[in-house]
Amino acid sequence: MTTPLFRLFKLKITADEREAFAKVGEQNLLTSIKNEPGTLAMYTSHVDPAGLDNRVIEIYRDAASYDQHAHSPQFAAFREVAKRAVMSQAVSQLTPRLLLEKPDPLRGGATQFSQLTELTIPVDQAAAYQTLVTASLRPAMAAEAGLLVALVGQSVDDPERWVLFEVFQDLAAFKTHCQTPAFQIYQTESRSLITTADATVLTGDTLVNQGGLTVINEIN
């Protein structure tokens, strides 16, 4: 597989367009994941109770796959609502370092437990961090039924900025994960590698993927 396109969006939307934005967004994601083989994963969620501070993560097989999605009728419908709804947008282009999914496709939302962790890691510690996080999450994906998605990306524009996005079946599965020896080792050994870490619990709106994604893109 070529290196997938991996992006994180932070969107602020207006309160009066929240319902329309969520509805057309769900239709966009469900249609795209069904009809577009190159659209590998799309996760929409929000931070605040009102649903106005949004996070969107997208993964496409390649640029041609994104182009197909960008010219689809469902995206055109979404874009028309987004023009009214979105007050501000920040986009992070990410180099995928570790992308893991369960084999079966995901069709989830608010019942899953999602967490986005934004990290600052010095460039000279990046390879060591990737080795550590891979050693923690790859066995966890195989062994823990409740871990559904684990994505690790490094910012293209600012290589010290990293993103870790995880989806668990529920809060209980997340708590079980945090008690595993592999996670405890990760917590202990990552302290010397990470400068800052900001974890945000998200409320899922629409969480969908094709399933079976396994990408390990090592730092040279």
Can you tell me the distance from the alpha carbon of 196 to that of 103, in angstroms, rounded to the nearest whole number? 32
Could you report the per-residue pLDDT of 152-200, keeping only the tens digit for each? 999 999 999 999 999 999 999 999 999 999 999 999 999 999 999 999 9
pLDDT at 1: 61
Mapped onto helix, strand or coil, the DSSP state of residue 25 is helix
Using alpha carbons, list the distances in angstroms from residue 9 to 131, 163, 171, 210.
26, 12, 24, 20
pLDDT at 195: 97
Can you tell me the distance from the alpha carbon of 88 to that of 165, in angstroms, rounded to the nearest whole number? 22
Provide the phi-psi class of 200: left if phi over 0, else alpha when psi is between -120 and 50, else beta.
beta
Provide the phi-psi class of 151: left if phi over 0, else alpha when psi is between -120 and 50, else beta.
beta
pLDDT at 220: 73
Residues of the chain with pLDDT under 50: none
